[in-house]
Structure 1
């Protein structure tokens, strides 16, 4: 990665061109909120179903702006020692033993030595607050809804002031706020206090036209008819009562898999055999396999023959 800072996009159109140039097919609404987030130095809160491309937005921003990507993957039980910092206790104990062995132990001096920054192990949040010659990093807080509410509350200081307080060292503040992207799959509600510190955008499933463009971009080797039928098939699945509708990531994976199998179009047998690429729950797979897959394919082709 180049250490030369890359200028932020100067307009919504430039933002749209930047992310589309990296292969992310976005609409103008997303480009607008991205531009404003960068311009206003405000965290971006992205909400939506799993697999619609929320995490990918942070990766694209880091790649196109030439910034470090620092990712904090959230989970139940995530705490400060994993997310922010912890002390190198073995090294601290060696320092204490050496001081005791020397026979001259000044408690104030020893405490200052033991809690010096060289013994500080920096986790993602502290790393995101560090200066960088390439510019402030992109800090991805992924799937915040999986973390506990107590950790969510801790983030308020980070998001509002780009700083954290370490009792033994004091306050660590970023010279320039990181580019913060927060994602959530909405498995639980995030508190309003955190949302107020962010710009919000709902990342929805794409319509057929945009999903077709995504497949063409991400799976350029897929035959045109196959791509069109894959997108139409997936669009119909999303209107059915499934336990988990397929996301864009699954559409891309399925188109890739069928292309690897040299398919030129959908076939009921191959669809049934490859549904595990597209659907992730056995009940959903069992519902679509066989005659239902054939019915959907027939419907897709009838609509295509009528011009949509």
Structure 2
């Protein structure tokens, strides 16, 4: 992260350039939503399949804007102790014993002394209300669909006023609202009340042209022929009836893996031996291995030859 925070982009083109600085190849519609989110101070809500680059957007915004990234990774059963704050009970008990050893017997005074910010453990949502280097951080709420509805309702309250109330201390309010990026893999629907507070964008799989550009940035050492065949093969897989088709992350991983193997062009044996890099379910691998993978590869290479 840069030492000094940078100003927010003034135009959509500047937003495209901002994301490009972090090697994120964004289409115009995504850049437009990101620009509006930054300028209007509204959370951006990104839905899409796993591996299409939703989380990466928050990381790139934090890096390119010189802001601290605060990440809340969601999961089933997430509660305020993990997401917002909790008290450092071990340290509080130690403080009580030290005070009692020093002759302090006033229980109310002891209680007041241990419920201060000194004993507060700040979790991501509370951290996001604090400025760093004079600028609000980027708050990434990742995979919100993994949590349950009560936490979603609590989050709705936090995002309304960017403040958190701690009974023993009072209300802590952000001097400047954080830049908020919320992601969802859509394993369940997020409530409309939360979506209304956000600017929405569906992050889809990239076109072949954009995926080639992504590989040029993320795996620049790979041979051009190899990257074209990889992208063609991956694009073909996404049209098939698989349990989980590969995302952009898998495309990048496969390119890097094949480069490590000094592969300059795909062949049936190499594809079969490395399917586990791009497919994560045995049923999908079994379906693709052998003749089916060879058929797709012949098709991809024939299309590449026709284009010259």
Structure 1 residue 158 displacement after superposition: 1.6
The answer to whether the 8 A contact 1:66-1:134 is kept is no
Which residue number in structure 1 is paired with residue 161 of structure 2? 161
Which residue number in structure 2 is paired with residue 52 of structure 1? 52
Q: How does 1:1-308 map to 2 (within 5 A)?
A: 1-307=1-307
The answer to whether the 8 A contact 2:272-2:293 is kept is yes
The count of corresponding residues between Structure 1 and Structure 2 is: 308
Q: Distance in 2 between matches of 1:103 and 1:280?
A: 62
Task: Give the SS at the match of 1:212.
Answer: helix
Structure 1 residue 176 displacement after superposition: 0.3
Q: Distance in 2 between matches of 1:22 and 1:124?
A: 23
Structure 1 residue 103 displacement after superposition: 4.3
Structure 1 residue 245 displacement after superposition: 0.4
The answer to whether the 8 A contact 1:6-1:134 is kept is no
Q: Judge which range, 39-48 or 127-136, deviates more.
A: 127-136
The answer to whether the 8 A contact 1:58-1:181 is kept is yes
Q: Distance in 1 between matches of 2:103 and 2:300?
A: 84
Q: TM-score, normalised by structure 2?
A: 0.97
Q: Distance in 2 between matches of 1:242 and 1:52?
A: 16
Q: Structure 1: which 5+ runs fail to align?
A: none
The answer to whether the 8 A contact 2:69-2:137 is kept is yes
Cα deviations by residue, 1:43-100 (Å, 9 ceiling, x for unpaired):
1111000000000001100110111111111111111111111101122122333444
Q: Distance in 2 between matches of 1:216 and 1:289?
A: 28
Q: Distance in 1 between matches of 2:98 and 2:233?
A: 69
Q: Structure 2: which 5+ runs fail to align?
A: none
Q: Judge which range, 131-140 or 237-246, deviates more.
A: 131-140
Structure 1 residue 134 displacement after superposition: 4.3
Task: Give the SS at the match of 1:129.
Answer: coil
Cα RMSD, aligned residues only? 1.4
Q: TM-score, normalised by structure 1?
A: 0.97
Cα deviations by residue, 1:198-248 (Å, 9 ceiling, x for unpaired):
111100000111111111111111111111110010001000000000000
Task: Give the SS at the match of 1:204.
Answer: coil
The answer to whether the 8 A contact 1:67-1:134 is kept is no
Structure 1 residue 286 displacement after superposition: 0.7
Q: Judge which range, 57-66 or 209-218, deviates more.
A: 209-218
Task: Give the SS at the match of 1:244.
Answer: coil
The answer to whether the 8 A contact 1:83-1:124 is kept is yes
The answer to whether the 8 A contact 2:2-2:63 is kept is no
